[in-house]
Amino acid sequence: MDLNIIKQLSQQSNSKILLCVLDGLGGLPALKGRTELEDASTPNLDNLARNSDLGLSVPVEHGITPGSGPGHLALFGYDPLLYQIGRGALEATGIEFELQDNDLAARGNFCTVDDDGNIIDRRAGRIPTETCSVLTKKIESAINIEGYKVFIKPVKEHRFVLVIRGDSLSDQISESDPQMTGVPPKVVLPLIDDAVNTAELVNSVIMQALAVINNEGQANSLTLRGWSFKPTMPHFADTWGIRAAAIAAYPMYRGLASIVGMDVLNTGLTIDDEIETLEKNWQDYDFFFLHYKKTDTYGEDGNFSAKKSAIEYYDKLVPKLTALKPDVLIFTGDHSSPAVMAGHSWHPVPLMLSSPYIRKNNHSGFSEKDCSKGNIGTIYAKNLMTLSFAHAGRLKKYGA
């Protein structure tokens, strides 16, 4: 749906929408033939499901496994094949680095190379974040490129962000990260003629950085990838005519919400902290995006029972969410992360939508199987926002 049409259709209301994203929620059957969600004891979600509409959400396209960026952009109503956020820009925004227009950002990894310069550990033994802070600070103050300002900022453990500020930069350069061990980091090459200067500049940055760290034990080299500028996309809160808040503990999701145009609220690290933040700010916003990370973390770890427990833990908190009496309450994920696959997958994601305007069905609870027979059917994630805003009475009739 064209977001300009949405802007014309949006209308004011006192209704509140609560979008609860259980990251990587969807699963696959394990030994007992039940998925993580099906095997988990979730009396609160099940009870809600019996009075809700259910469906399945396809994040990008059938068979396409999304990264977190496309997965969330789609939930926020953006066509993930039309709007893309580069990894560098995403990481920069995630640490609340204010990217300016034309700043070129990359995601960096400290790594360990052997005496021949070949990578033996792509994550430098996951050095402590404090070490990363010290090293990035040292590198940043050592780098000197005439006419350009170079920022090196720590993220977590071995991860950092590189941002180059100056004229005529291009994101059309190759990545230095070979994504494998046993080979050296690659020289950065221009992918188009106009990127020759940028590639040379980046290779100088790398040389100067290596001079600072090449005597370190573990973090004696680095790789760069995901060259990107600050993305531009229609502003979420403006498009839908709402005050929108994001509550997420993890930097990347905070970054995503910030890029699209939500207020990112200060919150603690746990889902309990996040819900407390939600309660405190309930009066001040019309739309909340509430992010829960653990379902994905354990899914990616291949830990079925931990993912199941994470769902059960969440279920116990559901009454706190319903107690706020949102007009539209949604539970879904940005993608599936089946423990049996130990990673993101393409499988459609369970979706529950509760509002006064649902049709209901004979659902037994909230599960992949129930969702596959739900009223909503199988929809593209990018269509969830129009559906939610319709249920919230926030969209006018289209056409005469």
The residues that touch a copy of itself, with contacts defined as CB under 8 A, are: 1-2, 5, 9, 28-29, 33, 35, 56, 60-71, 80-81, 84-87, 90, 107, 226, 338, 340-341, 343-348, 357-362, 368-369, 372-379, 383-391, 395-400
| Closest distance to a copy of itself from the beta carbon of 250 (Å) | 14
| Closest distance to a copy of itself from the beta carbon of 169 (Å) | 20
Which runs of E-coded beta strand occur in 196-327? 221-228, 244-247, 263-264, 287-292
SS3 16: coil
Query: 395's torsion region: left (phi>0), alpha (psi -120 to 50) or beta?
Result: beta
What single-letter DSSP state applies at residue 355?
Answer: -
| Closest distance to a copy of itself from the beta carbon of 130 (Å) | 26
Dihedral of the alpha carbons of 77, 78, 79, 83, in degrees to the nearest 10: -170
Classify each residue of 318-352 as buried b or exposed e, where b means 16 or more C-beta atoms within 10 Å of its C-beta: beebeeeebbbbbbbbbbbbbbebebbbbbbbbbb
| Closest distance to a copy of itself from the beta carbon of 72 (Å) | 10
| Closest distance to a copy of itself from the beta carbon of 287 (Å) | 14
Between 63 and 147, CB nearer to a copy of itself: 63
Between 133 and 174, CB nearer to a copy of itself: 174
| Closest distance to a copy of itself from the beta carbon of 381 (Å) | 11
Between 259 and 275, CB nearer to a copy of itself: 259
Structure-block tokens of residue 165: 């500020």
Between 115 and 359, CB nearer to a copy of itself: 359
C-alpha Rg value of the chain to the nearest Å: 22
Indicate the length of the chain as a whole number.
400
